[in-house]
Amino acid sequence: MKSPDDLLRSLRLLGIRAGTDSLRALFTHLGQSCASPLESFAQLVALERKERDARNLARRAKTATLGSFKTLDQFDWNHPRSIDHALYDELLGLSFLQRHDNILFRGQSGVGKTNLAQNLALAALTAGKTVRFTTLAQALVDLSRQESLPALERRFRRYTSVDLLILDELGYLPCDTRSADLLYGLISRRHEQRSTIVTTNLAYKQWGTVFPGAACVVALVDRFAQHCVSFDIDAESWRNREALRRMRTKTTAATP
């Protein structure tokens, strides 16, 4: 009879990707439960499928440039003064993607807009959708660097072809008229075709301050807002709260 180490090596040669600790735990469980050969194969297949799904999700999240973020189990829903938890749970169902609706996460800096958007992106990736996450500034710089119309059209497809596009931090940096035209191009091409999420600290009427002098701002807002779910967060900055907490901890520790 093969030893567990021999069996592990054989499984690796067959292309099994499940972790060594997980496989050893499975061997122990199967031995203790006296599982039948059919049950043993079924549980091995289930373990391998879980591992492959996790790796596939991680690869697709990397392609989506989703970055690292806190999952929803770490989100403190009691911190904001006002937040619609029920609405967010509804958004997690992803029906807005089927309707090609947009989402606007709005609130001051540090209240969790980006984190909630990233978790929606993760839900979409888990459901097999394609996603791209980027700050608005990064997307506009990327597009503006294209030196010819064919190159620009090819780069546009990076942002227009995905099921869900997330443009983070509208309003944090001023943009010129050229950038406004590029953003309008993105929004208009995705309009009623695919969903876009924008995070911002600005009301619609203030978007013009980001693109001073741009003639397309009204049309841009009109297209984005036509089929849009607004999600407002009223809260103090999480980062400020954590900074104050750390300062109090240091002060307490330093007190004799």
* pLDDT tens for each residue of 182-201: 999 999 999 999 999 999 99
Report whether pLDDT(254) > 70: no
Q: Can you say how many angstroms the Cα of residue 245 is from the centroid of all Cα atoms in its chain? A: 28
What is the per-residue pLDDT for 247?
A: 60
Please give the single-letter amino acid code of residue 20.
Answer: T
Q: Which residues of 166-194 are buried (b: 16+ CB within 10 A; e: fewer)?
A: bbbbbbeeebeeebbbbbbbbbbebbeeb
Quick one: fold of 72-240?
Rossmann fold (3.40.50)
How confident is the model at residue 252, as a pLDDT?
59
Instruction: Judge whether residue 244 has pLDDT over 90.
Output: no
Tokens 């403190």, residue? 76
pLDDT in tens, 214-235: 999 999 999 999 999 999 999 9
Residues of the chain with pLDDT > 70, as a percent, come to 92
Q: Please give the average per-residue pLDDT across 230-247, as a whole number.
A: 78
pLDDT score for 251: 61
Helices (H), the chain: 4-13, 20-33, 37-63, 85-92, 95-99, 113-126, 136-144, 149-160, 177-190, 217-226, 238-254
Tell me the pLDDT tens digit for each residue of 27-75: 888 888 888 888 888 988 888 888 888 888 889 999 999 999 999 999 9
Model confidence at 206: pLDDT above 80: yes
Provide the residue ranges of all domains of the chain, joining segments of one domain with +.
4-63, 72-240
